[in-house]
Amino acid sequence: MTAPATSFRKRAAGALQDAFLKQALSIATTRFLALRQEAFTGFREGEALRDRARAIKEATLQRLDHWLERLVDNVEGRGGRVHYAASAGEARAIVLDIARAAGARLVVKSKSMATEEIELNEALEAAGITPVETDLGEYIIQLAHEKPSHIIAPAIHKTRGQVAELFARELKRPVAADPEALTRIAREELRDRFLKADMGITGANFAVAETGTVVLVTNEGNGRMATSLPRVHVALMGVEKVVPSLSDLVVFLAILARSATGQRLSVYTTLLQGPRAPGELEGPDEFHLVLLDNGRLRQLGGPLREALFCLRCGACLNVCPVYRQIGGHAYGSTYPGPIGILLTAMIQGRPAVSELAHASSLCGACAEACPVRIDIPRMLIDLRRDNVHEGRAPQPGERAVFRLFAWLVRHPRLFRLVARLARLAQWPFVDRGAVRRLPLFFGEWTRTRDLPPLAARTFTERWHDLRRET
Partner 1 sequence: MNPAPRAALMITCLADIFFPEAGVSLVRLLRTLGVEVDFPAGQTCCGLPLFNSGYHREAAAVAARTVPLFRDAPSVVVPSGSCAWMLKHEYPGLLAGADHQEARALAPEARALAGKTYELSQFLVRVVGRTRFRSAVPGRLTYHDSCHLRRGLGESEAPRTLLRNLEGAEFVELADAEECCGFGGSFAVRLPEVSSAILDKKLAAIEKTGAEAVVACDAGCLLQIAGGLSRRSSPVRALHLAQVLA
Residue 13, interface with partner 1 (CB under 8 A)?
yes
Contact between 105 and 198 under an 8 Å Cβ cutoff? The reply is yes
Long-range CB contacts for residues 161-168, cutoff 8 Å, separation at least 24: 162/20, 162/24, 166/140, 167/143
- Nearer of residues 68 and 319 to partner 1, judged by Cβ: 319
- In sequence order, the 6+-apart residues with CB closer than 8 A to the CB of 432 are none
DSSP state of 451: B
Torsion angle, alpha carbons of 179, 181, 184, 188, to 10: -130
DSSP state of 4: P
247: burial class by Cβ within 10 Å (0-12, 13-18, 19+)? exposed
Contact between 301 and 313 under an 8 Å Cβ cutoff? The reply is no
Closest distance of CB 460 from partner 1, Å: 6
Stretch that binds partner 1, among 10-18, 46-54, 83-91, 210-218 (CB under 8 A): 10-18
Residue 31, interface with partner 1 (CB under 8 A)?
no
Torsion angle, alpha carbons of 183, 188, 189, 190, to 10: 80
User: What are residue 141's phi and psi, to 5 degrees?
Assistant: -75, -25
Stretch that binds partner 1, among 263-271, 284-292, 299-307, 382-390 (CB under 8 A): 382-390
Residue 64, interface with partner 1 (CB under 8 A)?
no
Closest distance of CB 346 from partner 1, Å: 18
Stretch that binds partner 1, among 57-65, 138-146, 192-200, 377-385 (CB under 8 A): 377-385
- Nearer of residues 156 and 290 to partner 1, judged by Cβ: 156
Chain centroid, CA 160 distance in Å: 23
Closest distance of CB 469 from partner 1, Å: 8
Residue 436, interface with partner 1 (CB under 8 A)?
yes
* Other beta carbons within 10 Å of 375: 15
Scanning residues 239 to 278, which ones bind partner 1 (CB under 8 A)?
Answer: none
Closest distance of CB 450 from partner 1, Å: 4
Scanning residues 389 to 428, which ones bind partner 1 (CB under 8 A)?
Answer: 389, 393-395, 398-399, 402-403, 405-406, 408-410, 412, 415, 419, 422-423
- In sequence order, the 6+-apart residues with CB closer than 8 A to the CB of 178 are 160, 164
Q: Which of 209, 215, 326, 372 binds partner 1 (CB under 8 A)?
A: 326
Scanning residues 161 to 190, which ones bind partner 1 (CB under 8 A)?
Answer: none
Stretch that binds partner 1, among 6-14, 49-57, 230-238, 256-264 (CB under 8 A): 6-14
Closest distance of CB 467 from partner 1, Å: 7
Closest distance of CB 62 from partner 1, Å: 24
114: burial class by Cβ within 10 Å (0-12, 13-18, 19+)? buried
Strand partners of residue 293: none
Residue 386, interface with partner 1 (CB under 8 A)?
yes
Q: Which of 5, 396, 448, 468 binds partner 1 (CB under 8 A)?
A: 448
- Nearer of residues 185 and 381 to partner 1, judged by Cβ: 381
Binding mask 347-376 toward partner 1 (x if CB under 8 A, else -) reads: ----------xxxxxxxxx-xx--------
